[in-house]
Structure 1
């Protein structure tokens, strides 16, 4: 049996529940935004162009010829005919040594040669006379043979005197020090009046060739096949030398060509040395200078080029976002070549519009809004000063 008070309470609760259900059922649905908002992005177009490939390395500038000028005989330095820093040519007279002793020896050797020649002339005349006398036994065979031996002896003496003259002339030539190469004179270490010896290791100064000049550099051993291909090519591979650590921003010092690959790889560093030669008429390359070299290893003709930020890295491959209308799609691409300035890819077409900025919020089929180029940064004008 139900108690009358509880019956009334239950009836009231049921009435309230029915009223709430009726109100929820009849309540108008609130409007919802179902259209997704567009994601702002920046885009670039795929460009088709010829792209040279480069490899870079650090190298040092070397002279093709550098000679320390030393005396070849002992003597007093009588005259210096060049100044420090002067450009000289092969054969130019640089300095002279005291030659009086050598000239005296040369004159003595010439005098001895004259004496020997005179004696030889008399001996040859007597030999001819003795030969005629031997026909009718005017002189003995022994006398004739002795005269023949005297002639041979005097000829040998004359040859020895001539050799002494040649040796003295060579010694005399050493008193004139001439430049063996074309180049620039270095800092002088000896002044006029000093006694020079052949054993001096310091020398007078050095003469260093400046133009042309070479750069020696090192590259990883994996570059050996590429360097061999470049050396064997009909046209020498172009090599550029820069003063900075980065060829893109450094100051170009010279343009040369690859000339040599070393005959062995350094086992400690795993690097291979190579050499390039440069015309250096402006003398911007200097021996001992550290430079960065860039070698053109290949030329990709008709390559599809995009900026580095366009290509994204997926789990197993690279891809790009291509814009179709107001939406984007993912396109897998193959990375052919990349550096700090551009990427060469395959899998798209020239003229395709790709997303270059804003990829982090994108997914296939997302709606995008293409933004224009960012405004140029301008410096605000300084406020005018009131008097």
Structure 2
């Protein structure tokens, strides 16, 4: 009985609450707080009449560099692996690990005693055979004189001449053997083939080495290469402007920049998988700021394009029909399709759609529609509207 009484009390309170809300709504309606026709707040301004705040900039005509940006790797111009051509014992290592060396500097000295002995033996053999050749030549002269007096036969003269020819050939063979030994003797002093910087020596004095053992590596770094890939669409520009292109390099992870580079070589093929062409730029690197294996950003300025239209890159928007910008005319935003060549230093280079001098929206585009009224709060590149 008590529970039924509580249920009827709750229903009564809910009914009274609904009646109170209906009454309040009727009072608001009658008092004019809402209009009976449009259903829009009487003191609210229609959305179409509101000016949307935006930031704008001016489209500018100026000379713009045709520039290619890429990721590059520093590479030595020449890398030579020093190998031995004879088997011997290392007597001296005449450089410090990582030292700079010049072409012709002696790097390693090997034990030459065996080859020196062979050279002495070859020299003695050559001297003996030369003496025998001289004797054979005197015999020919003597036989020729005797032949004139009919003291010897023509056969004996011919045999003497043959002996001279054989002995002369023997002398030539000995000279060749001696020359080969002298060439081998040069292998016992291993010299730097190029000017560059040494790596770490693979052997120390006292080590016994075999033919073709690796002893060290030398890399030429003055001048030095920077290798980088560029899209194939720049091939014609690169070939045309190769001699006057300016190349700069910024070391990765720092603001250190190196200028004065030039395009030195183009690869003879384009990578079909990436569509890029491998290019090598040469830097003098006199102060050795560039080190093999270093990564960085490469900037190649091919030429200057005169009188191009530019706008801040953030002004360009993308839609289903392509790229466009909002141009402000009489405080009204207008959609203008544009063609963009490239973006450089935060600016988009416009090749169609703008003539220069237009005011374009750079911030606030998300709230804009074609024909919307705008309120320019700030304008870069020109005084703000209304100032």
- Return the match for 1:127 from 140, 152, 170: 140
When the two chains are superposed, the root-mean-square deviation of aligned CA atoms in Å is 3.0
Q: State the Cα distance separating 1:242 from its structure 2 match.
A: 3.2
* Cα distance in 2, alignment partners of residues 209 and 175 from structure 1: 23
- Distance change (3 Å), C-alpha of 1:349 and 1:287: same
Distance in 2, Cα, partners of 1:31 & 1:216: 68
Q: Could you tell me how far apart the structure 2 residues matched to 1:328 and 1:163 are?
A: 92
For 1:317 and 1:264, how far apart are their aligned partners in 2?
A: 33
Aligned CA distance change for structure 1 residues 216 and 317 (closer, same or farther; 3 Å): closer
1:167-186 matched pairs, under 5 angstroms: 167-186=180-199
- Using the alignment, how far apart are the partners of 1:82 and 1:159 within structure 2? 40
Q: Is the 8 A contact 1:231 1:260 kept in 2?
A: no
Superposition deviation, residue 88 in structure 1: 0.9
What is the aligned residue count? 338
Greater shift after overlay, 102-111 or 333-342? 333-342
Residue of structure 1 in register with 2:87 after alignment: 74
| Distance across 1 between alignment mates of 2:370 and 2:303 | 36
Higher strand share: 2
Counterpart CA distance in 2 for 1:353 and 1:268 is: 42
1:33–1:152 Cα change, 3 Å: closer
Aligned mates of 1:209, 1:322 — CA distance in 2: 56
Asked if 1:337 is matched to 2:342, the reply is: yes
Structure-2 separation of matches of 1:308 and 1:347: 15
Aligned counterparts of 1:299 and 1:133: Cα–Cα separation in 2: 93
Say which is worse superposed, 228-237 or 146-155, in terms of deviation. Answer: 228-237
1:218 Cα deviation after fit? 3.7
Residue in structure 2 matched with residue 242 of structure 1 by the alignment: 250
Alignment partners' CA distance in 1, 2:335 and 2:233: 37
Matches of 2:279 and 2:171, distance apart in 1: 56
The equivalent residue for 1:275 is 280
TM-score (norm 2): 0.77
> CA 1:302/1:269 → structure 2, altered by over 3 Å: closer, same or farther?
closer
* Residue number in structure 1 paired with 2:155: 142
**Residue 195 to residue 32, structure 1, CA distance change in 2 (3 Å):** closer
Residue 210 (1) aligns with residue 221 (2):
yes
Deviation at 1:182, TM superposition (A): 1.0
Tell me how far 1:256 sits from its aligned partner: 2.7
What is the rounded CA distance, in whole Å, between the counterparts of 1:40 and 1:108 in structure 2? 100
1:83 alignment partner in structure 2: 96
- Equivalent position SS for 1:322: strand
Deviations 1:44-85 (A, max 9, x none): 112222222334443433222111212211111111111111
Distance 2:206 2:319 in 1: 79
C-alpha displacement of 1:362: 3.4
Specify the alignment match of 2:239 in structure 1: 231
Separation in structure 2 between the aligned mates of residue 270 and residue 47 of structure 1, nearest angstrom:
33
Q: Name the structure 2 match of 1:370.
A: 376
CA distance in 2, matches of 1:269, 1:348: 33
Q: Which residue of 2 aligns with 1:308?
A: 313
Q: Which runs of 5+ in 1 are unaligned?
A: 1-19, 21-29, 375-387
Name stretches of at least 5 consecutive residues in structure 2 with no aligned partner: 1-29, 31-41, 381-387
- Contact persistence 2:53–2:375 (CA under 8 A): yes
| Cα displacement string for residues 124-161 of structure 1 (whole angstroms, at most 9, x for unaligned residues) | 12211211221221211121112111111221121122
Task: Please state whether the residue corresponding to 2:289 is helix, strand or coil.
Answer: coil
1:259 counterpart = 2:264: yes
Query: What is the deviation of 1:33?
Result: 6.6
Partner of 2:364: 358
Q: Does 1:114 align with 2:127?
A: yes
Cα distance, 1:261 vs structure 2 = 3.6
Deviation digits for residues 191-225 of structure 1, max 9, x if unmatched?
A: 1111121142xx22111111222233344xxx335
Identify the range of structure 1 (73-82 vs 279-288) with the bigger mean alpha-carbon deviation: 279-288
Distance change (3 Å), C-alpha of 1:251 and 1:327: same
Measured in 2, the distance between the counterparts of 1:97 and 1:275 equals 38
Equivalence map 1:18-29=2 (5 Å)? none
Secondary structure at 1:123's aligned position in 2?
helix
Distance verdict in 2 for CA 1:344–1:156, change over 3 Å = same
Tell me, in whole angstroms, the C-alpha distance in 1 between the residues paired with 2:292 and 2:241.
Answer: 28
